[in-house]
A and B are shown apart, each in its own frame.
Chain A
Amino acid sequence: MYRYNPTDQQLVDDRVAQFRDQMGRFLGGRLSEDEFRPLRLQNGLYVQRHAPMLRVAIPYGTLSCVQLRKLADIARRYDRGYGHFTTRCNIQFNWVRLEEVPDILAELATVQMHAIQTSGNCIRNITTDPFAGVAADELVDPRPYCEIVRQWSTLAPEFMFLPRKFKIAISGGAEDRAAVRVHDIGARARRDADGRIGFEIHVGGGLGRTPMVGRLLKDFLPREELLNYFEAILRVYNRHGRRDNKYKARIKILVKDLSLEGFAREVEDEWAWTRGGPATLSEETFRHMEAFFARHDTAPAPADEPADDPGHDLAHDLAFSRWQARNVSAHRSASRAVVTLSLKKTGVPPGDATAEQMDGIAELAERYSAGEIRVSHEQNLVLPHVARRDLPALWRGARALGLATPNIGLLTDLVCCPGGDFCSLANARSIPVAAAIQQRFDDLDYLFDLGPLELNLSGCVNACGHHHIGHIGILGVDKNNEEWYQVTIGGQEGEGAALGRVIGPAFAAGQIPDVIQQLLEVYVSARAEGEHFIEVVERIGLAPFKARVYGAAA
């Protein structure tokens, strides 16, 4: 993991002091609400439905056990004993007190954390593959590049007041597990014919009100030019992005207005100046950053534990084998595994973890995963460095914490925003709908039979639940002050990124489990051996699903 140097620490400490002063002036009536709002948003502080919400940055989704314990401590002392992991790999505290936020930021700074740029019209937290550094299919470990971009974008003076928010994702696997094509900038690591590392750059992707799949802007950007090129993109956007209408202010609209070719010309012109300039990255910088992310799979397995309680009695345990099938993924080292802890237990809001769970996970990470935890954009937590012989012990530990639901990648591993229960932007609640779906489909045999299926749920068009890229997407809408839910199918992330298509008129909340049931029935009756839900949708199209759900009225 990256460790702060004195400059990084100084920055977050100064930030705490600056924000404490700003908060003091706001509470003292010397800073107006309009002037304070952009400042507090740049520190991740929202004013929500019930209480202020603080969003804390988890850079590229990587946490140490020390940091996770601090988050548990904050949840206990400043919130109601839990936190919510988000689809952008951050954590939100939903019940903080305004006047205590500077103290929370000071607590975070003691473990090299902050809330800088987790909201506002600036460059947001960089996201990546939760399996970065351990995935078997990895071309390049993206984390050193994430850290370089994190440092560059943190308080970047030129880009603190962009037309709108700006999200960057970087991935390094053969498979794209960072959804790079639904980000303002998405970078995928590549190697050229000579083995040199570079990036394929996508621009203008994003969900929200006007969902778009990103366009390929450059097929190979040499890695040393990463910041020069990003700076060129950001400058073109900062100068020419629309500021008259917040709904048309994202970079995707600028790319559309200028055309991809026109936008690319502007970027090339800017890059021609910055190229090879002072922000060009040196081999030394790469080596320095790479050293922070040295591989753990060469380290000996934890010695204090005598290969824990033997796993052989579990070989025929159905619960353990189900968990292994869904929650354990291949590690680049055959003797290790990547374990996903499910935050999708039925009855618990997706992505929520209690302080006790966070402490428990920190303990598991310390014992079994080199002290490291990842947050996935599917709102689960990942232990990336687990010795295979420790899997039974880890499973027991996770089960005791309620984190071993064997549903990763299945229907009930659904992605969901906080929705109308918390968020003041929401048009409809999302958590109760998610709970109803999880309750209806709680039969594991059935879920396993259905196979991989991504269901995403957002409480409004801002799409924090990423409903557009769910194989099944559910969007909460408001009609005459009533909550309705629109259903899409056929969305997906990754290589074949596509946006889901609406199947027809919206439904009341109570109808949703039945609608899902009907969609699944169409799938099951149409599928060939081994064919997944999304593949069936691609093959047979929307019509059979519509006909089943809406009957003759369709």
Chain B
Amino acid sequence: MSRLIRDGQFIDDCWRWLDADEAPAPVPGERLILPSAVWQAHRPGLDAARTGVWLAPDDDLAPLLPWLATIPLIAIRFPVFTDGRGYSLARLLRGRHGYAGELRAVGDVLRDQLYFLQRAGFDSFALRADQPAEEALAAFRDYRWAPFSRG
């Protein structure tokens, strides 16, 4: 069963995740999510529409900035749910740099953080495998309130 939530429902994930040590060799038509360094090294030869980038919490945003309009998906990895750096990366991408593509939280993504992740600008969520599906969907409604300042 898919563990990916987008637009308030579970959907099939049509992207393949590549770890840092894998070569970016897509089979035709396949969509890949590449580590930032691999994406930077191979970008000119890749099909932009089928290539996403994933960021570790300490990755620099600068190499992506000139290409943001062409990147369909950026994933931000949470090595552990208490590592809050990804929230600021999301906020920067959405607010400061105007990124409008899919912004996905991956890794230690738990039901109790979904509300805040969404509020920080994420719009898709690759849940950790053990998270109960129904509870996760309900979590987006933990609060009926919106934070004080957004923009």
Contacts and interface: CB of A to CB of B under 8 A. Distances in A.
B45 interface: no
B143 A238 contact: no
Interface in B41-100: 81-85, 87-89, 91-92, 95-96
Contact of A238 (B84, B119, B147): B84
A238 B88 contact: yes
Contact of B91 (A152, A158, A161): A158
Given A22-B112, A160-B87, A121 B149 contact: no
A233 interface: no
B84 A159 contact: yes
Contact of B147 (A14, A156, A243): A156
B133 interface: no
B7 to A, nearest CB: 19
Nearest to A162: B84
B29 interface: no
A155 B149 contact: no
A505 interface: no
B120 interface: yes
Given A157-B120, A160-B116, A238 B87 contact: yes
Contact of A155 (B85, B89, B91, B147): B147
Contact of A14 (B95, B112, B143): B143
A277 B151 contact: yes
A158 B112 contact: no
Contacts of A335: none
B66 to A, nearest CB: 17
Nearest to A14: B143
A239 B93 CA distance: 13
A102 to B, nearest CB: 14
Nearest to B85: A239
B151 A121 contact: no
A235 interface: yes
Nearest to B122: A157
A151 interface: yes
Q: Which of A15, A156, A163 counts the most B-chain CB atoms under 10 A from its CB?
A: A156
Nearest to B139: A18
B149 to A, nearest CB: 4
Chain A facing B: main interface SS? helix
A278 B149 contact: yes
B148 A154 contact: yes
Interface in A418-467: none
A157 B148 contact: no
Contacts of A238: 84-85, 87-88
A277 B91 CA distance: 14
Interface string B122-147: 00000000000000000000111101
B82 A38 contact: yes
A139 interface: no
A158 B76 CA distance: 14
Interface string A223-245: 00001000100010011000100
Contacts of A273: 95-96
A35 interface: yes
**In the complex, which of the residues B88, B113, B143 has the most CB atoms of chain A within 10 Å of its own CB atom?**
B88
A348 interface: no
Contacts of B34: none
A160 B142 contact: no
Interface of A: 7, 10-11, 14-15, 18, 22, 31, 35, 38-39, 121, 151-152, 154-163, 227, 231, 235, 238-239, 243, 273, 277-279
Given A10-B143, A163-B84, A238-B88, 7 more contacts: A7-B145, A18-B143, A35-B81, A35-B110, A158-B84, A158-B91, A273-B96
28 contacts: A7-B145, A10-B144, A11-B145, A14-B143, A31-B112, A121-B84, A155-B116, A156-B147, A156-B148, A157-B87, A157-B115, A158-B88, A159-B84, A159-B87, A160-B113, A160-B116, A161-B82, A227-B149, A235-B88, A235-B91, A238-B85, A238-B87, A239-B85, A273-B95, A277-B151, A278-B149, A279-B148, A279-B149
Interface of B: 81-85, 87-89, 91-92, 95-96, 110, 112-113, 115-117, 119-120, 142-145, 147-151
